[in-house]
Structure 1
Amino acid sequence: MEKIVKFKPKNVGKKILLAVAGIFLLLVIFGSFYNVSEQEQAVVTQFGKVVATNSAGLYFKIPFIQRVHMVDMTTHGIGIGYKVDGNGQNITVDDEGIMITSDFNFVDIDFYLEYKVSDPIAYIYNTDDPEMIMKNIALASIRSTVIDYPVDEVITTAKGQIQAEAKERLTKALTEQNVGLTVVNLTVQDAEPPTDEIKQAFKAVETAKQGKETAINNAKKYESEQIPAAEAEADRIVQNAQAAKEARIAEAEGEASKFNSIYEEYSKYPLITKQRLFYEALENVLPGAKVIITDGNTQQMLPLDSFSGSSSDGDN
């Protein structure tokens, strides 16, 4: 005999209702909790109004009423003046990189901007595209800085100062605009003339600058070699002059002492001193002469030497 099974609509409806209730319960359970990682912050809203911001951890929310918006808080980077294609090659963006300098020249300059979210609520609700606004502000800040410098400084010596000033301006502007982003770092990647002709001209300028530096260094080297020699020669001349001075002073003092001693003797015995000085003077003037002292009447002396110069033997 065949057994007839009767279909009961009420049992099927009950099972479907239980299944829907189970699914809804699972959705409620799983939708009531959310996890925030170390690199994120969660912004919780209720009917469009922010009710909480949470850092890393596991949290509960009211399902279907509260919504959670995850915000990445790590540092990101974008290029200004260039973009990276799928092969990792840098492609110049002329509308961004070409800028004018204070001496009305053009320069192609690239920057790399590192940024991160500073205010998750402002980042989500204050603007539709905070990254685009930040990039436009960065371009304006960079152009306002580059235009204060001549082209040769932009390409060579002023890169560090330019990136510091541009970062300061960008940070201030982002704070005023309150887009929820902050600058981590802004660096000059490259700066060069925009055309080949200008590049060659700047290479010539750089070569001239290097020649200038070489000449200055050689001059400083020559100076460092010559100054010590000149100082040594000057010291030698001064020392010789000092020695000559001391010798002349000593000689003058000796002559003065000698004169004083003679004067003392003269003051005691004037006649004898005069005669002695006279004889000494004759000896100095006529060192080889024979001196004969007479009273003026004597014609001959013993031995018989004639005043006329003839000997006694000749008279005989």
Structure 2
Amino acid sequence: MRIFDGFGHRISLAMAGKKSPWGGGSGDDGDSDGGKPTGSEGGDKPKGPRNPWLPPGSGGGSGDGRRGPNIEDIFKSRGPEGPRRRGGGGGGPGGPNMRFPQRPGGKSWFPIAVIAIIGIGVLATSVHLVGPQQQAVVKTLGNYTRAMQPGLNFSAPFPIETVEVEDVEGVRSVRIPGNDNQAKLILTGDQNLVDLSYIVRWNIKDLSDFKFRVVDPVDTVNEAAEAAMRAAVAETELDETFSGQGRAAIELDVRERMQRTLDGYRAGVNVLGVEIEKADPPAQVVDAFRDVQVAEQNADAARNQARGYAQQVLAQAQGEAEAFDKVYQQYRLAPQVTRQRLYYETMERVLSQTDKTIVETGNVTPYLPLPEIRRRAQQSSPATVVTAPEGQ
């Protein structure tokens, strides 16, 4: 490398202790101090740039240590997973040796491990334990073939046969409507609207029909319940939907309608019961409806009170008539005595309510106001208080 100063003198830049990347030693610049050209004299290798793609100390095909870069040589020791490992030991130039453990005979454990995994998979997909409240359906290559009853059952391994287990005796319930704040208005038989919410309880009757006859059996149950409820309420008046007896009749009617519909679909569902949770008027008219209910309750109370009074008067009249009949029978036996007895009883009943006392003495009948005298005597005589003398 030549560097000239401002006067045209050459300045030599020495690279002490460093090797030139162009093949020369320290201070080689292609021409010696004596003016000797750098070349291949004395068996020396020609100077020039070193191939960066060759490992240190490797020679080229021509023996000069240089060759053109070849893309095949670059990826010769590489594969899709990265650089290939070569060599034996863990610390060699080829990197660690990743080999599968071997059996004592020198053979690999890999085939045995594969066979064991396959055997476990076959055993896990071929043996099935069905619970006492469960049933299972078996599909062979996607088609239904048979059903499994509770107990230990066997099948072909997956994917030849697949098994689906379901709880058939557990009670499932659905609330309609699903949201408590949502209104479900249904038209009654007397052209009124009622807000109903109810619960339907059901279980699985036939698992094969439940799985393969309808697309979505749960939605089918919900739709059948809603249709049956609307049909039953449409035949009932509004007042009956609020009474306990009317609700019981509606619940029974809805259950029977649902069961007939689901049996017609062959849905494999058994309807256990229907329970009406709420039966209220629409929210827009709830205040007016409550006023009507209060008026009806007051009217019922007045009617009940009138019926009670009528029954009381009637019972009293019937008692008096029976007593008169008994007196008449005695009168027919002894008319004079019965007539005098009636007179005495009547006068006793009348005079017992007055404050007058009549005393008969000979031909004079004086009037003595005894009750009035007794009352005045009580008012004129105040209560006497007895006090002890002082000093005693």
Q: Which residue matches 1:78? A: 174
In the alignment, what sits opposite 2:111? 17
Amino acid corresponding to residue 150 of structure 1 in structure 2: E
Higher relative contact order (CA 8 A, sep 6+): 1
**What is aligned with 1:306?**
none
Counterpart AA for 1:138: A
- Residue 126 of structure 1: which of 213, 225, 238 is its match? 213
Gap change, CA 1:129 and 1:220, over 3 Å in 2: same
User: Paired residue for 2:153, among 59, 63, 77?
Assistant: 59
Structure 2 counterpart of 1:27, one-letter code: G
CA distance in 2, matches of 1:69, 1:120: 10
Q: How does 1:19-58 map to 2 (within 5 A)?
A: 19-58=113-152
For residues 1-316 of structure 1, the aligned pairs below 5 Å read 14-64=108-158, 65-73=160-168, 74-83=170-179, 90-92=180-182, 94=183, 97-157=184-244, 158-196=246-284, 198-247=285-334
| CA deviation string 1:213-249 (max 9, x = no partner) | 3223323432443333212210121122222223369
TM-score normalised by L of structure 2: 0.55
Indicate the percent of aligned positions where both proteins have the same amino acid. 25
**Structure 1 residues 129 and 222: CA distance shift in structure 2, 3 A:** same
- Shift of residue 111, structure 1, vs aligned partner: 0.8
- The DSSP-based 3-state class of the residue aligned with 2:181 is strand
Within 2, Cα distance between the matches of 1:58 and 1:220?
71
Aligned-partner Cα distance in 2 for 1:8–1:199: 82
Task: Evaluate the alpha carbon distance shift between residue 145 and residue 4 of structure 1 in structure 2; reply closer, same or farther with a 3 A threshold.
Answer: closer
Aligned position for 1:296: none
| Amino acid aligned to 1:58 | L
Residue in structure 2 matched with residue 262 of structure 1 by the alignment: none
Shift of 1:106: 1.5
TM (norm. structure 1) is: 0.67
- Write the distance in 2 (CA, Å) between the matches of 1:81 and 1:220: 43
Q: Distance in 2 between matches of 1:103 and 1:220?
A: 29
Aligned amino acid, residue 333 of structure 2: E
Question: Which whole-Å CA distance do the structure 2 matches of 1:178 and 1:76 have between them?
Answer: 18
CA distance in 1: counterparts of 2:283 and 2:236, whole angstroms: 19
User: 1:115 & 1:188 partners in 2: Cα distance?
Assistant: 15
- Which whole-Å CA distance do the structure 2 matches of 1:186 and 1:72 have between them? 21
| Aligned counterparts of 2:108 and 2:132: Cα–Cα separation in 1 | 45
- Give 1:176 shift: 1.0
1:123-169 Cα offsets, whole Å, 9 max, x none, are 11011101101111111110011111222322335222111111111
Counterpart Cα distance in 2 of 1:124 and 1:244? 91
If you compute each CA radius of gyration, which structure gives the higher value, 1 or 2?
2
Amino acid at match of 2:136: A
Q: Indicate the RMSD between aligned Cα atoms, in angstroms.
A: 2.8
CA distance in 2, matches of 1:210, 1:180: 47
Q: Which has the higher mean CA deviation after the structures are superposed, 13-22 or 112-121?
A: 13-22
Aligned length: 237
- Superposed displacement of residue 117, structure 1: 0.9
CA separation of 1:8 and 1:233: change in aligned 2, threshold 3 A:
closer
Task: Provide the C-alpha distance between the structure 1 equivalents of 2:222 and 2:177, rounded to a whole number of angstroms.
Answer: 11
Change (3 A) 1:215 1:7: closer
Q: Mean alpha-carbon deviation: is it higher for 73-82 or for 148-157?
A: 148-157
Where structure 2 has 5 or more consecutive residues not aligned to the other structure, the ranges are: 1-86, 90-96, 337-392
